[in-house]
Chain A
Amino acid sequence: MAIAIIRTLILYTVIVVSLRIMGKRQIGELEPAELVVAVLISDLAAHPLQDIGTPLLYGLIPVLTLLCCQVLISALIIKSLKFRALVAGKPSVLIRKGSIVQSEMKKNRFTIDELAEQLRKKDIYDISTVKYAILETDGSLSVLQYADQLPVTPKQMNLQTDDNGYAVIIVNNGRVMEDNLKKMGLNEVWLERQLQQRKAGGVKNVYLMTVDENGRIYYEPKEQKA
């Protein structure tokens, strides 16, 4: 039993580190080569976990080999566009200037129903409003609608808007995010003053506090226990 636990911990650590080294993309939308690695890793790791008669190295070495291949292939993909096209494929234009490109639909084995479903997921219910639809190499659909279908922006309306900028978390569930505080050019004294103004009664009573580039603060105290 102890062997199974130790093996699980080792494999878990190796896989988490491997996925971390492979990069964030591995966890999100997967391209073909990345999908192969993700599927294989889970299967390879399962065998030595289920059968303690199989050496752990039989799981670890293939996982590490896949990690090496993935890192090297990713580097080659960045360096060579041809290699990228070979491994990841090219995006396919399914709708061009409002017209469905049937040859591309057929080539990608993409049905009208699937196209309509993907568009609905983007809140587009009328296909005639789409100017371009591109099937990306990770299988997602990018859509550009006709200009008269797009939401009006403040710029188009010549309206002045305040740019809030990026709101940074200063207090997260009673803990001060000191790095974020420094990045925003603030300090503990400023934080203490803000908490006093809100009668927070200390950082430990704050659930969330953010501040944006304009100094605007969002404050949420912790719920009081009944």
Chain B
Amino acid sequence: MKKELFVGVFLALLLTASFFNIHYIGKLTDDVRQRVDHAVSCAEAENWGEAEKKAEEAIAIWTGRDTFTHLVLRHSEIEAATESLYALAQQIYSRDKGAAKGAGQAASARLASIADIERVRLGSIF
């Protein structure tokens, strides 16, 4: 009976950890997306200094959680998201308003899709 009890508790812990993981990834991607969106709106207003700062913050937050993301996300997804953030920064550094907007939208969509895949929805399950 002890074994069954231990296994039941372990299963409950696994479930709890998985829901925590969904919450954490959702929060992380939201944080990064907020900065991406802010960077894009600053770029549109030609406030390049602030746009650079926000894009760099977004990269720092995303790459700062490297260990965690590599544990729980497919490495190809992480790399694609990282590349999209650097692409945004590149367009901002080159002061290309239109390209920065496109790169920002791509990065935001990439991050949203990572969070979406992890969420418990019919679409994610099947």
Contact = CB atoms under 8 A, between A and B. Distances in A.
Contacts of A57: 71-72
B74 A67 contact: no
Interface residues of A, number: 16
A72 B76 contact: no
Contacts of B76: 53
A4 interface: no
A55 B10 contact: no
B3 A64 contact: no
Secondary structure of the A contact surface, majority rule: helix
B60 interface: no
Interface of A: 21, 52-55, 57-58, 61, 64-65, 67-69, 71-72, 75
A64 B1 CA distance: 18
Contacts of A69: 11
Contacts of A53: 74-76
A71 B6 CA distance: 10
B23 to A, nearest CB: 17
B61 interface: no
Nearest to B75: A53
Contact of B4 (A61, A67, A71): A71
Given A21-B3, A53-B75, A53-B76, A68 B70 contact: no
A71 B14 contact: no
B24 to A, nearest CB: 14
Contacts of A75: 1, 4
Contact of B11 (A54, A55, A58, A65): A65
Contacts of A65: 11, 14
Nearest to A76: B4
Contacts of B18: 61
A55 B70 contact: yes
B7 interface: yes
B118 to A, nearest CB: 12
A75 B10 CA distance: 16
A68 B7 contact: yes
B117 interface: no
Given A61-B14, A64-B14, A71 B3 contact: yes
A68 B76 CA distance: 30
B70 A71 contact: no
B84 to A, nearest CB: 17
A68 B11 contact: yes
Given A71-B3, A72-B4, A75-B4, A54 B10 contact: no
